[in-house]
Structure 1
């Protein structure tokens, strides 16, 4: 392992060192015969299926005549030669990929949610198979596990145990990686969780799939009090939670006693939010769970801290374990039936309601409803007060709006709505599919100050020199640094689609039907040559109070504890200033790859750029941002010297898979099922750290729809060392 950790001596500062990627194909791992098709597998004769009826079949090459992908008999380990090789830049126009599956003569309606709700894509299954309930069994004899397509993150690593979890349709496969270097998985999972739908889930049905509604949309791992949990969001509105300790105990029992008797852990939490569930957040200190849905609201589950423990009975819908209360845009309470308290009793009602919830002697479900002003909400996060207790929910809706919603107070605490940055474009510019389509909102994270690494200068903080940064000050969006040019400095990054670099453009589908929509075009702001970063002496302009006054009023923070908010769109990253009037950071097209005009990939015929899978790794001051398109950005959070105009920033240090891995055909051209991040186990379980950390190594596992897994390892030897990938 010492050789693996060796660093290249040519790297300096905060540059990223890249050594090896480990690849394990699904065919090798599951020992699948070549006579059986794996959907999305490009090197199988039946792997590429033309699902776009508008495209001439001759426009897609049969990959059986082309270069073979990675051999199934090997786990490939790349050497470290030429890792500094630059990316070939090509003057290609932005690609035109679909954002919906409208009929050929149906106009695109930007006013409706149905254009592009999370997963609201008009198809059943990319594999061209009917969505049917799978038979029982560890691995079905007829083929590989089935993929629930067009969801959010569906894989996770425990932060406590050596456990890898992946959702296939309604089931969760749990496996213990057999190697701490290659992260190879067993042919059959060590445990399969099969949570059944609740009575309400059966009644609600599916949003993406009415035939098979009980499929997982999203899963996360987080701490609820002293326990780590696995939390699952389903298309039928079910939300299900397991203690990872229970899963680990069952794995240990099977390893000790064999699998003659199999005991499947039961979920500790099983509720339904009334419509397709998507965003998930867990708050450790306050013991809260937040779930967003296509009902345009967020449900906050508040567990009682005294009295009887929570017990669920998903098969019976007549038993209610949570007392329901809803809040509207103004922060006013309403009963679940939307009946509002009478005015003469409202003041007393609000006061008694707040006290009742704060006592935590009963289970409460607080419904934060964005109403008609909102849209589907793909992701949520908790904000905390200065004591570390949850006091806000931060949500992003599909239209790109941020919602900052108070949890505990009712009446006089309206929700704060923060529009997307694209509202600063000239009002004369039409948001039309022929010119510019406003990007959708996909991800949100709340990042405390402690997660930001000290940095020395602009290059160390933002990944590029001051002269290449564009400064924006606009009445509608405030003050911003645009650092999009930093993408040129990301080492071993592929800015051009691999099929173009491989001279295999014929693999694309070229669809002339443009009215279905285009990816985000143009720029997020109308720049001109004057938009330069002000000198450091101009810092006074961004503070409140009189310049000649000895007293400078402290700016008001957006969140109580001064945490920052990271918002992501399809390919863009935005770090908002934690204080009003401060300077935020915008990185446009961070994971974008150029393709020829009108080019689409057969497996991703509609919009697949979604930076929706966000994982915060506090020990490494890192955000892992995964996209359905198959690429993952590694984003280091930074804190510049105090005299700088901006207070917090970030830099993109790498985009996985690396260019050299794409050139070795390790990256399949199909969607990303999930990205999982967790500590590397040294022996058995990964014990929770009780003292200073920062020297632990982490692994990142990228799993694709064709069941292939790419693994990397990352670490920082100290708080000031550069990030290294192994």
Structure 2
């Protein structure tokens, strides 16, 4: 987790400077076919020109931190654009480069979860530094995870531009990382210093990929599959951090864990990645060790205040979507409580410990009412979230079941496939007995609904589900031929993959194949087993030493909760079997949380985001005064509000989720986005010295909500057609598009960041954000 380069001056409350929002619509991008320029036949489908967007995913846009590149995920493709101007950040009609990593052989067997028909579709993309190089990582519905060096993408885009006389020449960058995690992948995190990539899945686990950074120091004629680099006599810490091999570290969570939409790393005191932090859709935060063996997992249960109820699926509890571990240096020091929270103490109400929360929590909802031009004002203070809309929701649901209302066509291939399953979860109809029966199945059903797992919607008049919306009038026949051609192409590719698999299995090294065909190949070693039964391990090692030419390096899998280490099989069938292995959970017991995480609790606070609520929690037990720190709860920060209206509600199904979370250390800013299309800008703050409250608890750390974007006036002027948010991207403003020197030095100083909101109708809203050097005032212009 990167640290801010410098500390900022103390800002004053309500010193936000607001400027202009730059808007680019689909019309501005000339999404109208030019028959000469685009060489498109008049009868060709419009979808060859206008990319189709997938629904029910995570964040699907990203900005490079070092290059002037903007990435958008359309279906299984990644489009790379060079923004053309500052400050408008104009995106051209055509991408400078289009990247399509083909599915792995394992992905063909894993299949899709959200969309079984088109499984190789992107769920999430991010950029970040892996050591000194910036990378782009994408994960897919079929479990694939791919990564590219951004430098090579920039070079490929540049070569494509220079290609003269070759229409649509596409120089593909090198795919340096391609793995599969065995199920639909959702959360992504990159650690710069430790050079790690973490991926969460609907297997209720997190996979951390640790690349080899050195070579085995053990050099002898009798090489073994498990050398000294893979073993340790210490049952609480392994030597894996030496990183002499490529490691797949499978971090198991507790038995009650559910689908995991987002993750982040938690660092040790020297800045190395030490733990993984994950949130599941039940709202539980899980903290688990990456390197230490046999350690219990830490569970931070969700708050159960009545105010934290779902608005879209009322009265269900608000589900968890985002998590961020904030180090102490990320909080801006302030002098007064009003600077810390944006409200004086008299205007604050405190919840005493209870309702699933072990610390007192302050409700800062009133600060939302004080935000000027807020498009998402909170409901009447004191009213329970959802009270005002519940009757409308019930009426709409009853009407939806009594009559099949056709949805408006849009370039969203998956949303029409995925709605009925949620209709069964949030109708709110039936007797109390039926509701009790439904609640028994609610955990399983809501897990799938909240994660976007397939919701099969009957098309108009009860027909089967539609994969793509109908094309414009006069193009139906051509569109059908085009879709058929694509389907036949996919079938031919699958047949080819199958033939390759059975005729020439993947055997990169002869010795590896020999080992895999041997009965001794199934070497699964536990450190605990070795300690208890050393003779068994000796026999295994002897049998492996009989191989004449063993591989120099094998990719290894490590399971910290059990201490198990094993070689990852190479043949596709065996690798698929490994990926589909039974799910394991971490049931280890250990000392109390405060004893095991004493140093962590002093250095980190955790931001948890739900469907419409933001929360700041501390794991610290008590101060010297015997009082606990007061946490922060901002309910109804981004309400579902008018997105429930009947005319647009089909487009916004299951979009009430604060799932896009960014930390900008250089600006001391946290940006939180919702697929409803709105974004929170929040400043983490802290008092220079803790202060005891007048009621109970200690004031120390807080969150100050600066604004909600787009503002109400901008939404009325710039979003006349409301559609969900496809992606939220945050990155430094680049001074030009020249490619020379240190890439990190090309961002302007003082730090200016661009924030881009990309909607599913291809509208793009852009802001620039900075802080004034002298006052620390947040400026949006």
TM-score range, shorter chain: 0.5 to 0.7
* Counterpart position of 2:600: 559
Contact between 2:601 and 2:618, CA under 8 Å: does it hold in 1?
no
CA deviation map 1:171-206 (0-9, x unaligned): 000010001111111111000000000011111000
**Cα gap change, 1:706/1:431 in structure 2, threshold over 3 Å: closer, same or farther?**
closer
Provide the rounded CA distance (Å) in 2 between the counterparts of 1:595 and 1:432. Answer: 11
Provide the rounded CA distance (Å) in 2 between the counterparts of 1:681 and 1:139. Answer: 36
* Counterpart position of 2:615: 574
* Counterpart position of 2:287: 404
Out of 420, 428, 443, which is 2:302 matched to?
Answer: 420
Q: Does 1:32 align with 2:32?
A: yes
Which structure: larger Rg? 2
Greater mean alpha carbon deviation, residues 374-383 or residues 436-445: 436-445
* Counterpart position of 1:495: 376
- Post-superposition offset of 1:646: 2.4
- Post-superposition offset of 1:305: 0.5
Provide the rounded CA distance (Å) in 1 between the counterparts of 2:426 and 2:88. Answer: 41
Provide the rounded CA distance (Å) in 1 between the counterparts of 2:334 and 2:148. Answer: 39
- Post-superposition offset of 1:600: 6.9
Provide the rounded CA distance (Å) in 1 between the counterparts of 2:163 and 2:329. Answer: 44
- Post-superposition offset of 1:509: 12
Provide the rounded CA distance (Å) in 1 between the counterparts of 2:678 and 2:205. Answer: 29
Provide the rounded CA distance (Å) in 2 between the counterparts of 1:599 and 1:606. Answer: 11
Contact between 1:661 and 1:667, CA under 8 Å: does it hold in 2?
no
Out of 662, 666, 681, which is 1:615 matched to?
Answer: 662
Provide the rounded CA distance (Å) in 2 between the counterparts of 1:356 and 1:12. Answer: 48
* Counterpart position of 2:519: none
Contact between 1:298 and 1:368, CA under 8 Å: does it hold in 2?
yes
Provide the rounded CA distance (Å) in 2 between the counterparts of 1:432 and 1:488. Answer: 18
Provide the rounded CA distance (Å) in 2 between the counterparts of 1:693 and 1:29. Answer: 27
* Counterpart position of 1:604: 651
Contact between 1:453 and 1:720, CA under 8 Å: does it hold in 2?
no
**Structure 1 spans left out of the alignment, 5+ residues:** 1-10, 36-134, 309-321, 324-334, 336-347, 498-506, 520-552
* Counterpart position of 1:361: 244
CA deviation map 1:351-382 (0-9, x unaligned): 37943412210111111122541100000000
**Cα gap change, 1:667/1:443 in structure 2, threshold over 3 Å: closer, same or farther?**
farther
**Cα gap change, 1:164/1:693 in structure 2, threshold over 3 Å: closer, same or farther?**
closer
Greater mean alpha carbon deviation, residues 685-694 or residues 188-197: 685-694
- Post-superposition offset of 1:250: 1.8
* Counterpart position of 1:380: 263
Aligned with 2:339: secondary structure? helix
* Counterpart position of 1:16: 16
Out of 686, 691, 694, which is 1:639 matched to?
Answer: 686
Q: How does 1:81-230 map to 2 (within 5 A)?
A: 142-230=48-136
* Counterpart position of 1:699: 754
**Cα gap change, 1:490/1:574 in structure 2, threshold over 3 Å: closer, same or farther?**
same
TM-score (norm 1): 0.68
- Post-superposition offset of 1:386: 0.5
Aligned with 2:109: secondary structure? helix
Provide the rounded CA distance (Å) in 1 between the counterparts of 2:746 and 2:723. Answer: 42
Stretches of 4+ aligned residues off by more than 6 angstroms: 138-141, 429-435, 507-510, 553-556, 690-694
CA deviation map 1:86-139 (0-9, x unaligned): xxxxxxxxxxxxxxxxxxxxxxxxxxxxxxxxxxxxxxxxxxxxxxxxx9xx99
Provide the rounded CA distance (Å) in 2 between the counterparts of 1:694 and 1:374. Answer: 44
Provide the rounded CA distance (Å) in 1 between the counterparts of 2:65 and 2:196. Answer: 19
* Counterpart position of 1:451: 330
Q: Aligned pair count? A: 533
Provide the rounded CA distance (Å) in 2 between the counterparts of 1:247 and 1:432. Answer: 41
Query: By percentage of residues, which structure has more helix?
Result: 2
**Cα gap change, 1:655/1:259 in structure 2, threshold over 3 Å: closer, same or farther?**
farther
Contact between 2:640 and 2:656, CA under 8 Å: does it hold in 1?
no
Contact between 1:613 and 1:627, CA under 8 Å: does it hold in 2?
yes
Aligned with 1:201: secondary structure? helix
Aligned with 2:350: secondary structure? strand
**Cα gap change, 1:684/1:209 in structure 2, threshold over 3 Å: closer, same or farther?**
same
Contact between 2:601 and 2:620, CA under 8 Å: does it hold in 1?
no
Provide the rounded CA distance (Å) in 2 between the counterparts of 1:263 and 1:139. Answer: 25
**Cα gap change, 1:435/1:153 in structure 2, threshold over 3 Å: closer, same or farther?**
closer
Greater mean alpha carbon deviation, residues 169-178 or residues 591-600: 591-600
Provide the rounded CA distance (Å) in 2 between the counterparts of 1:189 and 1:560. Answer: 45
Contact between 1:512 and 1:598, CA under 8 Å: does it hold in 2?
no
